[in-house]
Amino acid sequence: MTNTQKTNQPTMAYIGATWGSLIIGIASYMLGLWNATLQLNEKGFYLAVFLLAMFSAVALQKTVRDKEEGLPVTKIFIGLCWSAFFASIALLIIGLINAQMFLSEKGFYGISFVLSLFSVITVQKNIRDMTDEKGITDPAAFPTTKKEVDFSTDSAELENH
């Protein structure tokens, strides 16, 4: 790994913050859907739009980054990524405009959607920054709980040492 790549890596605090905001955004949106007084088909629509947005945002971020780094990317795939990304945003906006909800509920879905979009793009960027040229991602890109040392040993092991 070159020195330039090392200095461009995100800090652990930034990685934790991006994962935290992603979890908060997704949990908020899903909790809102779970508790909504919508018909099941409406909930399914909002869930499908959310999943399309998350996937297209990650694919778009990767595609744009590949292109910037000189990796070959087809124009049709870039077009599909942009189309899916904008379609998901348009579908959410149209759905919320026409929904029989309070304005505060519409705002809740909108802000948790935007938070999740920003966060998933940033998490993808962090993972990409911590992946080497062989495609191996540094485990530090994924937040973990404190590592615990396993002190359990076999009594036979202790006697042999």
Q: What is the pTM of this model?
A: 0.78
- Mean pLDDT of the chain, nearest integer: 85
- The residues pairing with 131 across neighbouring beta strands, listed in sequence order, are 137
In angstroms, the CA 81 to CA 89 distance is 13
88: which 2 tokens? 């998901």
The amino acid at 88: S
**Longest CA pairwise span in the chain (Å):** 74
* Of 152 and 35, the one with more pLDDT: 35
Residue 154 has pLDDT above 60, yes or no: no
- Model pLDDT for residues 100-147, shown as the tens digit of each residue: 989 999 999 999 999 999 999 999 988 888 877 777 777 877 877 555
